[in-house]
Amino acid sequence: MGGSVYSLNIYSLVSLVLSSSANQYLFGWTRIESAISLDTSIIENMYNSKNVSIGFLLCVNLFAGFEAEALPYDYSATIECLAEPEKPQYYGGIIQNPELNNGLEGWSAFGDAIIDHRESLGNKYVVAYTRNQPHDTVSQKIYLQKDNHYVLSAWIRVSEGNAPVTAVVKTSEGFRHAGVTVAESNCWSMLKGGLTADKSGPAELYFQSKNTSVEIWIDNISLQPFTEKQWSSHQYQSIEKARKRKVLVKAVDEEGNPLPNATISITQKNSAFPIGSAINKYIVNNNAYQNWFSSRFTVATFENELKWASTEYSQGKEDYSVPDAMLKFAKDHNIRVRGHNIFWDDPKYIPNWVSALSPDQLKSAVEKRIQSVVSRYKNQLIAWDVVNENLHFSFFESKLGQNFSAWVFTEVNKIEPTQTLFLNEYNTIEESRDSEANPTKYLQKIQQIKNYPGGASLPIEIGIGLESHFPNTPPNIPYMRSAIDTLASTGYPVWITEIDVAEQTNQAGYFEQVLREAHSHPRVQGIVLWTAWSPDGKCYRICLVDNNFNNLPGGDVVDKLLREWGIKNISGTTDQNGFLRTSLFHGDYIVEINHPSKKNHNLSKHLKVIPNDDSKKTSQFLKFSM
């Protein structure tokens, strides 16, 4: 699209609005509120042409915004290893000679590596070889602007086998890890990541690998800066497209004449997008906790109460009374529950009696655990975290073999064949320096499960559970978004399952940042906070309320965002043509209308705002007779 702003007459605008393809062209642009005044008589004639007789018309349409930012964010990522690399995103951004078509212009050796410009089948790239240290490689000098968000992508290959390759940005303050991929020798892999500049100044981008025996091949590099305002516009546009629909309300009298100055009130009853928090046993007998939680959240995860160490502390003595009571609370308040977890691979959290079992005894105990907990809660939960943190830990694999996770998924699926089953892991999106659980490693684990005998044919989706425990440093928001891009390219469900931020200066502000980023990503299907209340004030990392359930700073952030994301009432009056325009989050609403000429005559009706489906009409209608 370049930097052009297109001028559309009202007829072409209406055509675009009614076309599903219009959303693709307009996605990512910032809305200009008063950019155009819709001729409502044209819209009215379009409706009248369909011979719709109505007293009160409510039309839900997906209207795209209008362009203000010339460069939308590219949410795409490629996880396939390709024979030839794709073109650089954003035409390379600030990278000089991104496609290596001009030899080594802009590129230089880093450390003691030797670099070479090569060409294969018309494709040109740079190679770093004779590497004795991980940082012996190729680099380009760049200049960073303070507070800009930089999105990085590159295509990487190695000379033999496979090896992790990390993108690093060297600044005057130190070294920033911007992303990683596992590169192959017979094809090109995409690395996607990013960073936020702490200060303005010169820097250097390079690509390193701990495997010094391989050559590193690099091509089609991009580093695109976005200002904070531009980044926020991406979030806004993504929410408008993925989470909301525009609503056009028309009020008419019994003869079909427009009713100006009619008062329309719209009240959300339920939000379609699941936002919740962890809860614990204290909620069972605490009415204040119950009221506070149920007035805000639509989904819950039990903090510890479903874990093996809680339900079978001593071998053979199972006790589900606490999770049963917690589940009853959830059901009574229409709160959906994620099952957490069936197995936890961290040896610290294995029940003591389990750790002492022989492999054969352990296998029997594992089988009993699956049958017990999964069968008990069959059809009562919305998901299961099947294996927890098994990219970082491997207790069960060390005892029962490397196919343990894949085997467990197939066994659980036999009991819950329609349930979404999740891996659940930390540091995949919140910590770019953690090589154990980066997006590529996560996807390799999913592939291992799918490759298990019989796994490929299982009618299950492997859910991608991202704990999102952000450390005590400012969050790397561009890396977070890019990592989700990579994971979401599988098409599997992505949930933020345990999000919080460690204690630090501006903890609440950073909490808001990561929540906004998670909610705005179009492929995230739900968010769970790891903020269970405790009477001793010892929350895991961030408390939302005090013992009287008055908000702490984290609670203020959550309430602010919940109001912004839909838990609020909307009211307005129709214009001279009987129209009221608004935008609603997906969910259930009560719509009420009254008019000065119709005293004591209020009408109401239920409205369900649903995501736009390109296979269906983009409009919904409600009739009222006034």
Q: Are residues 249 and 283 in the same domain?
A: no
Q: Are residues 480 and 583 in the same domain?
A: no
Q: Which 3-state string (H, E, C) describes 453-478?
A: CCCCCCCCCEEEEECCEECCCCCCHH
Q: pLDDT of 494-514, one tens digit each?
A: 999 999 999 999 999 999 999
Q: Phi, psi (5° rounding) for residue 557?
A: -60, -45
**Token pair belonging to 269:** 């009853």
Look at the chain and report how many structural domains it folds into: 3
Calculate ∠ Cα 337-292-305, nearest 5°: 40
Q: Which 3-state string (H, E, C) describes 373-433?
A: HHHHCCCCCCEEEEEECCCCCCHHHHHHCCCHHHHHHHHHHHHCCCCEEEEEECCCCCCCC
We report the CATH number of the domain holding residue 173 as 2.60.120.260
We report the CATH number of the domain holding residue 255 as 2.60.40.10
- Is the residue at 364 inside a domain? yes
pLDDT of residue 510: 98
Q: Are residues 166 and 247 in the same domain?
A: no
Q: Cα(95)–Cα(331) distance, rounded to whole angstroms?
A: 54
pLDDT of residue 582: 87
Q: pLDDT of 48-107, one tens digit each?
A: 433 333 344 544 443 433 334 458 999 999 999 999 999 999 999 999 999 999 999 999
- Is the residue at 14 inside a domain? no
pLDDT of residue 454: 64
* Residues of the chain under the 50 pLDDT cut: 1-56, 58-69, 615-617, 619-620
Q: Which of 389, 431, 498, 517 is catalytic?
A: 498
**Token pair belonging to 387:** 């294996």
Q: Note whether 312 and 326 are within 8 A (CB).
A: no
Q: Are residues 176 and 245 in the same domain?
A: no
Taking the CA atoms of residue 391, residue 397, residue 399 and residue 404 in that order, the dihedral angle to the nearest 10 degrees is 140
Neighbours of 280 (CB within 10 A): 16
Q: Are residues 241 and 386 in the same domain?
A: no
Q: Are residues 138 and 211 in the same domain?
A: yes
pLDDT of residue 60: 45
- Is the residue at 586 inside a domain? yes
DSSP conformational letter for 93: B
- Is the residue at 57 inside a domain? no
Neighbours of 267 (CB within 10 A): 15
Q: Are residues 249 and 130 in the same domain?
A: no
- Is the residue at 477 inside a domain? yes
pLDDT of residue 254: 84
Whether 498 is catalytic is yes
Out of 515, 530, 565, a domain closes at 565
pLDDT of residue 214: 98
Q: Which of 82, 229, 95 is nearest to 167 (CA)?
A: 95
- Is the residue at 45 inside a domain? no
pLDDT of residue 255: 86
- Is the residue at 198 inside a domain? yes
Q: Are residues 551 and 437 in the same domain?
A: yes
Q: Cα(618)–Cα(610) distance, rounded to whole angstroms?
A: 10
Cβ neighbors of 484 (< 8 A, separation 6 or more) are 429, 466, 494, 521, 523, 524
Q: Are residues 375 and 493 in the same domain?
A: yes
Neighbours of 52 (CB within 10 A): 12
In the beta sheet, which residues pair with residue 222?
A: 153
Q: Containing domain of residue 608, as a range?
A: 235-269+568-625
Q: Are residues 502 and 477 in the same domain?
A: yes
**Ordered DSSP codes for 21-47:** THHHHHTTPPP-TTS----HHHHHHHH
We report the CATH number of the domain holding residue 468 as 3.20.20.80
Q: Cα(385)–Cα(338) distance, rounded to whole angstroms?
A: 8
Out of 174, 192, 226, a domain closes at 226
Q: Are residues 264 and 274 in the same domain?
A: no
| Whole-Å CA distances, 170 to 128, 143, 478, 537, 610 | 18, 11, 17, 40, 46
In the beta sheet, which residues pair with residue 150?
A: 195, 225
Q: Cα(36)–Cα(20) distance, rounded to whole angstroms?
A: 20
Q: Cα(509)–Cα(187) distance, rounded to whole angstroms?
A: 42
Out of 565, 588, 616, a domain closes at 565
Q: Are residues 167 and 157 in the same domain?
A: yes
- Is the residue at 612 inside a domain? yes
| Whole-Å CA distances, 603 to 214, 259, 622, 624, 625 | 72, 14, 12, 7, 8
